Amino acid sequence: MQPDFAEVKRFLLDCPPFDALTDDQRNGAIEQLKAAYVNEHNVDKFFNDFSPALYMVRSGAFDLLAPDGHLIERLESHDLFGYPSLLSGRSVVNRLTVVEDGIIFIVPQPIFDRLRRDSKAFEQYFIRAHSQRSLEEVARGKPNSRQPVTVDPLQTSIQEVLTRPPVQLPSTTSIRAAAQKMSDEKVSSILLVDDGALVGILTDRDLRNRVIAPGLSFDLHVNAVMTQAPATVSGRQTLMDALTTMTQNNIHHLPVLDENDQPMGMITNTDLMRQQRSEPVMLISALNKTVTREQLIAEAKQIPAYMQAFASRAANTTVVGRLLASLTDTMTRKLIEFYEREHGVAPASYAWLAFGSQGREDQTLSSDQDNGLLLADDLNERQLSWFEGLGDWVCSGLGDCGIPLCPGNIMASNPECRRSVAGWVERFTRWTESPTPKALMYCQIFFDSRMVVGNKRLYQRYRAEVARLGQNEFFLGNLARLQRNVQVPLGLFNRFRGTESGKDSDLIDIKRYGIALINDIVRIYSLQAGLTEPRTLARLEQLLEGRLLNRRDNQSLAEAWQFLTQLRLQHQLEVWGTEQPKNALDPDQLSTLVRRQLKTAFRIIDECQQGVAMKFGRSG
């Protein structure tokens, strides 16, 4: 099909980088350009008929998929594809699926190569675009073999760093024999396994504190002094998962299990330090070694500078968010430790709760505090006073450490955020049965919760009750309508629409109108499914097992969330230390490729918002 010359010229003048060509260069390209009408019947042979080439979508919509089915990009009018193969010399391996029939313009490789030689702006555009695509492939674990890839040690799987088979004994072994085994094997901990199942671990600390200090007989069985039901990780998980688990549980030895829950070995904080040297483990270790509030605050002041350097080279933003949450968890536990040293141990069972971004483990350098206390039932005035002091102490301490106080006062220093299980359940019941706008706002924070330290059984009882309340159809319907009321910033003709006011009216808040909307959408599906997992990507993984959210939308939401959080992180690193907004950016300052990706992310959100409205909106 030979397209109309004048029509194509108008199109190219509005399609970077062809708008940067001279008239002669552009006219020469148009004379050689071809067009193809692509539908579901001929799409499979499209690349065979026209490859290699540069492709431009004139009309319709198409999905570009990697060989493994991964969605690379949703292609619509003016979007370009095919250039990675032209630049790298690799054969075309991706495939195209039709969302909406349409016309695709084809620029043959000889014409593309000639334009690269004749126009520096044209060539630089595609070099930058190809570099961005290569980074996306690396982030998906599909690196371009011609590109050197820097691997983030935190993303290494645990099984890759295990250096020896598991050192294990039955739990009926004597303390003396277990200590001898640890000495012979030169290890500081040992796995205790009965009938192939892990039942506990014994560490140097257990021997010091539970055997030697109280003067117990060395002939006792280790099951009398072992750490029972220890936290564990899977060998397939990453070092970041191990670091997070150790930090959250304040432990230094972590059993590693295979996919059948059989012991694979033990990973220690020393192993992590060996992998990371002066990286996150050292920073967390420095916080853990502080013995006064003043020392903790001094160490915490190093976090922003450190995180800026770390975040700038992190492979993906989920690592950054989880690391920041781990740092906040560590500071929280240290502040509680200092408070107990001055005021005695807690007079009753409790759990310190992290809500919002800390609960989801997607904190940024600008995230403020969202926390609370879960208390045992029927506390007296003296006990309540102790926890009141704890809330004030920790929240003010975190503020001094650089975690801003919550403007909405969602903190354990607020009596409303210190409640028993019955008290929290009563509050969630009011919110879910009478979902006022304020109640719905609170629910978007409080339903994303995680225990930082405290009584696990108390927390699990609370979380199960909250999950049950979250399945209220009337409540979910109101949540669905609330999130649909917040529209993505795309206006007429798919143009960006500013979300701010005054002198910043052209800026777009990608947190409020992007990341938060995805969190909201995923939260609604998670609540209906009764999930207790707070992390957005982990929620999406768990939702794959059900039928509430189809696989394609699930994958699209995950990719949009990762893209937007990466974009926000890059923006925050650029403006850190200035007065510029930390979550709002100017789309005109983005590259053409990133603008296209941003529009795609917003369209994904909009489509999924419509899906939520259809599935849940009628129940409100």
Assess if residue 441 is contained within a domain.
Answer: no
pLDDT of residue 2: 67
CATH of the domain at 194: 3.10.580.10
Gap between the Cα atoms of 613 and 356, Å rounded = 23
Greatest mean pLDDT among 123-132, 277-286, 409-418, 436-445 = 409-418
Q: Please tell me the least confidently modeled range out of 126-135, 393-402, 410-419, 437-446.
A: 126-135
pLDDT of residue 143: 37
pLDDT of residue 275: 62
Assess if residue 432 is contained within a domain.
Answer: no
The pLDDT-based confidence of 121 (bands split at 50, 70, 90) is confident
Assess if residue 428 is contained within a domain.
Answer: no
10 and 69: one domain?
A: yes
pLDDT of residue 546: 84
- What range defines the domain where residue 111 resides? 5-139
User: What tokens does 515 get?
Assistant: 């990341």
Q: How many CA atoms, within 13 angstroms, populate the side-chain half-sphere of residue 614? A: 8
The mean pLDDT of 67-73, rounded to a whole number, is: 80
Assess if residue 438 is contained within a domain.
Answer: no
CATH of the domain at 383: 3.30.460.10
pLDDT in tens, 294-307: 999 999 988 887 77
The pLDDT-based confidence of 68 (bands split at 50, 70, 90) is confident
314: amino acid identity, one letter: A
The mean pLDDT of 193-207, rounded to a whole number, is: 93
From the list 541, 542, 577, the residue with the least C-alpha distance to 562 is 541
Assess if residue 596 is contained within a domain.
Answer: yes
Assess if residue 86 is contained within a domain.
Answer: yes
272 and 333: one domain?
A: no
pLDDT of residue 142: 40
pLDDT in tens, 138-167: 334 443 333 333 445 666 788 887 878 899
478 and 605: one domain?
A: yes
* SS3 state at 12: helix
User: What tokens does 248 get?
Assistant: 């959250």
The mean pLDDT of 447-460, rounded to a whole number, is: 94
Gap between the Cα atoms of 455 and 345, Å rounded = 14
From the list 18, 97, 101, 99, the residue with the least C-alpha distance to 59 is 101
Percent share of the chain, pLDDT over 70? 92
Q: Please tell me the least confidently modeled range out of 69-73, 89-93, 147-151, 613-617.
A: 147-151
pLDDT of residue 67: 84
210: amino acid identity, one letter: R
User: What tokens does 568 get?
Assistant: 């926000």
The mean pLDDT of 387-416, rounded to a whole number, is: 96
CATH of the domain at 483: 1.20.120
59 and 167: one domain?
A: no
| Count of other CB atoms within 10 angstroms of residue 450 | 22
Q: How many CA atoms, within 13 angstroms, populate the side-chain half-sphere of residue 6? A: 0
171 and 113: one domain?
A: no
The mean pLDDT of 197-208, rounded to a whole number, is: 93
pLDDT of residue 162: 84
Phi, psi of 71 (to 5 degrees): -75, 115
The pLDDT-based confidence of 1 (bands split at 50, 70, 90) is low
478 and 580: one domain?
A: yes
pLDDT of residue 281: 67
The mean pLDDT of 313-328, rounded to a whole number, is: 79
pLDDT of residue 578: 86
pLDDT of residue 159: 86
Assess if residue 288 is contained within a domain.
Answer: yes
Q: Please tell me the least confidently modeled range out of 183-187, 243-247, 383-387, 483-487.
A: 243-247
pLDDT of residue 146: 32
Q: Which of 462, 486, 512 is the last residue of a domain?
A: 462
496 and 550: one domain?
A: yes
User: What tokens does 160 get?
Assistant: 């890759």
Gap between the Cα atoms of 589 and 567, Å rounded = 12
CATH of the domain at 108: 2.60.120.10
477 and 579: one domain?
A: yes
pLDDT over 90 at 470, yes or no = yes
pLDDT of residue 138: 37
Assess if residue 579 is contained within a domain.
Answer: yes
Gap between the Cα atoms of 562 and 597, Å rounded = 12
pLDDT of residue 130: 63
Q: Which of 110, 139, 168 is the last residue of a domain?
A: 139
For residue 349, count CB atoms less than 10 angstroms from its CB and return exposed for 0-12, middle for 13-18, buried for 19 or more: middle
Gap between the Cα atoms of 491 and 498, Å rounded = 9
DSSP string, 51-118: -SEEEEE-SSEEEEE-TTS-EEEEE-TT-EE-HHHHHH-PPP--EEEEEE-EEEEEEEHHHHHHHHHH
The 71-75 sheet, strands edge to edge: 71-75, 61-65, 95-100
562 and 492: one domain?
A: yes
pLDDT in tens, 259-276: 888 999 999 877 776 665
65 and 84: one domain?
A: yes
pLDDT in tens, 481-500: 998 889 999 887 678 988 88
Q: Average pLDDT of the chain?
A: 88
Q: Give 374's DSSP letter.
A: E
pLDDT in tens, 163-194: 788 999 999 999 999 999 999 998 899 999 99
291 and 405: one domain?
A: yes
Q: Which of 245, 276, 307 is the last residue of a domain?
A: 276
Gap between the Cα atoms of 470 and 464, Å rounded = 10
Q: How many CA atoms, within 13 angstroms, populate the side-chain half-sphere of residue 320? A: 28
259 and 327: one domain?
A: no
Q: What's the number of domains the chain is made of?
A: 4
The pLDDT-based confidence of 23 (bands split at 50, 70, 90) is very high
Higher per-residue confidence, 357 vs 579? 357
